[in-house]
Amino acid sequence: MRIYILGICGTFMAGIAQIAKQAGHDVMGSDMNVYPPMSTQLEAHGIKLFNGFEAQHIDPNVDCVIVGNVIKRGNPAMEYVLEKNLPYVSGPQWLAEHILRDRWVLAVAGTHGKTTTTSLLVWILEYAKKAPGFLIGGVPENLGISARIGTAPYFVIEADEYDSAFFDKRSKFIHYRPKTLILNNLEYDHADIFPDLEAIKQQFHYLVRTVPSHGLIVRHHQDLNLQATLEKGCWTPVVTFGGKGSLWQAQLLKADGSCFSVVHNGIEVGEVKWHLSGRHNVDNALAAIAAAYQAGVTISAALEALPLFKNVKRRMEVKGEKAGIIVYDDFAHHPTAIEVTLAGLRAKIGNARIVVVLEFVSYTMRSGVHKHTIKNALQMADMVICKRPEQDNWGLEKILQSFTQPTFLFDAVDNLVADLRKKLKSGDHVVVMSNSGFGGIHQKLLDALG
């Protein structure tokens, strides 16, 4: 099959491109941002890339055009596809029809922790020699890639609630039809497509409807929004993790979560000492263990795998250390994710100073939807430095002035770095939080410190 992918350089679509190539298809595609490292990764797989959405890039004899959800009407390439009546489909639908149909799909859904939990589950299955296929919205350091077709039957996928395409406004995860489903948590997010929390709950309910009665749902015991969603209707066995009274529990042996014991059905089954920190990551591990257990991985094998897990890029990834100052890169951009990430770091480093550098990039954050919870989310920080969002009509500056710790607001990354360098001292931990490249701020700061 000759496949052309519109929006090929996004993590999800690039993963589909690699899987399609591994499945034997002839793959090419285009995007507006065709540059390394994604461009070199795709080209290394023999995938031809075009920069820009020009109609002439598309062979009129192509068998299928896979359309990313960044593509909108008015896009020249998409208008050509429609005008020529070329066959087109969303990425999730193509994946479901051509790759997932005969696989045991293990899907990981939730507002937070999807990438880490998916990566943990893939690693446990890999360690147990199950050779799973996978598609992850990040790069696990153990594997070095975000997607592969793998060996049947297992396929692990990060199940995103974002919409599938401009012509299919269902959440991506509706297409996957998992046999095993992890539900980590459920909060309001994606304000650009969901008017309120109830709209997201409805999509999660539709997802629950697709899980067969012989499958399994693994859900966080203490999340009331998940509980309310399942009360809308559930036809699948459910096991719980993460809280008192749940089937899978953990006892922290160190406050930072770097060492914990696992309790299954009231019985302690082993201990884990690993590289990650934070109660949230312990819960992510429990979910992955529970899902892998259903897929035939013994608890002991899962516990052996966890200490070897190296985390995911951009999840509290240490970018460097200069002059006794450690600089981290973290993808957290929702108040809850920010709060639990900083709590985990605080438990790990004690009284050392945490300096948070925050960029408001996601539509939900830059539109001010969560403006009332930002202060509490950042309570563990000793200093907060923000880049002013493009839409600053919701009073970020005034909100920062209400903080008890020092706060600063900058319009430009270079000015931010120059000022921050003067404020830092040996022993500081600088956590850069953004879901974009943030203007290369990590290296700029390390260069300035050096």
| pLDDT single digits (tens) 218-234 | 999 989 999 999 999 99
Q: What domains are there in the chain, each with its CATH number? A: 2-90 (3.40.50.720), 102-308 (3.40.1190.10), 317-449 (3.90.190.20)
What would the mean pLDDT of 156-181 be, rounded to a whole number? Answer: 96
Q: Is the model's pLDDT at 268 over the cut of 90?
A: yes
23-31: Cβ within 8 A, 24+ apart = 23/98, 23/99, 23/149, 25/1, 26/1, 26/2, 27/3, 28/3, 28/4, 29/3, 29/4, 29/5, 29/66, 30/4, 30/5, 30/6, 30/54, 30/57, 30/77, 31/6, 31/7
pLDDT of 367 > 70? The answer is: no
Is it the case that residue 366 has pLDDT exceeding 70?
no
CA distance 21 to 149: 9
pLDDT at 68 over 70: yes
pLDDT value at 26 more than 70: yes
Task: Mean pLDDT check: name the lowest of 42-46, 62-66, 361-365.
Answer: 361-365
Cα(278)–Cα(377) distance, integer angstroms: 15
pLDDT at 260 over 90: yes
Q: Tell me what pLDDT residue 347 has.
A: 86
Question: By percentage, how much of the chain surpasses pLDDT 90?
Answer: 69
CB 355 within 8 A of CB 424: yes
pLDDT at res. 163: 94
- CA terminus-to-terminus distance, the chain: 51
- What tokens were used for 2? 């000759």
393 pLDDT tier (thresholds 50, 70, 90): low
Structure tokens at 314: 């951009």
Q: How many CB atoms lie within 10 A of CB 60?
A: 10
User: Residue 189: which of 110, 275, 92 has the closest Cα?
Assistant: 110
User: pLDDT band at residue 396, thresholds of 50, 70 and 90?
Assistant: confident
How confident is the model over 45-68, as a mean pLDDT? 95
Identify the pLDDT of residue 299: 98
Instruction: Select the more confidently predicted residue: 243 or 61.
Output: 61
The tokens describing 144, both together, are: 């070095």
The reported pLDDT for the residue numbered 41 is 81
Quote the pTM value. 0.86
Please report which confidence band the pLDDT of residue 105 belongs to, taking 50, 70 and 90 as the band edges.
very high
- pLDDT score, position 348: 87
Q: SS3 for 413?
A: helix
**pLDDT of the residue at 138:** 83
List the Cα angle 69/71/72 in 5-degree steps.
Answer: 115
Amino acid 400: pLDDT: 85
The count of C-alpha atoms lying within 13 angstroms of the C-alpha of 363, restricted to the half-sphere facing its C-beta, is: 9
Mean pLDDT over 130-151 rounds to 92
For residues 343 and 234, what is the distance between their CA atoms, to the nearest angstrom? 34
Strand stretches in 119-214, DSSP E: 133-135, 147-148, 154-158, 163-165, 168-171, 180-183
pLDDT for res 440: 86
DSSP state of 31: E
- pLDDT surpassing 80 at residue 65: yes
Q: What is the mean pLDDT of residues 431-435?
A: 87
Angle between helix 279-294 and 114-127 (nearest 10)? 50
In sequence order, what DSSP letters do the residues of 236-266 get, joined into one string? S-EEEESSTT-SEEEEESSTTSSEEEEEETT
Q: Of 36-40, 88-92, 380-384, which gets the smallest average pLDDT?
A: 36-40
Instruction: Note the helical H segments in 322-402.
Output: 335-349, 363-366, 374-377, 396-401
Task: Tell me how many degrees the CA angle 95-99-104 measures, rounded to the nearest 5.
Answer: 110
What average pLDDT does range 330-338 have in this prediction? Answer: 80
At 304, is the pLDDT very low, low, confident or very high (cuts 50, 70, 90)?
very high
Please check the confidence at residue 177 and state whether its pLDDT lies above 70. yes
Structure tokens at 37: 């490292």
In contact, 428 and 353? CB cutoff 8 Å: yes
Quick one: pLDDT at residue 6? 98
**Would you say residue 315 has pLDDT above 80?**
no
Q: How far apart are CA 29 and CA 38, in angstroms?
A: 13
- In this structure, are residues 65 and 87 in contact, taking their beta carbons and an 8 Å threshold? yes
Q: Is the pLDDT of residue 314 over 80?
A: no
Average pLDDT over the chain reads 92
Sheet of strand 407-410: strand arrangement: 317-322, 325-330, 429-433, 354-359, 383-387, 407-410
Evaluate whether 132 touches 154 at the Cβ level (below 8 Å): yes
**Secondary structure class of 72 (helix, strand, coil):** coil
pLDDT computed for residue 113 by the predictor: 87
Average pLDDT over residues 190-215: 93
State what percent of residues in the chain have pLDDT above 70: 96
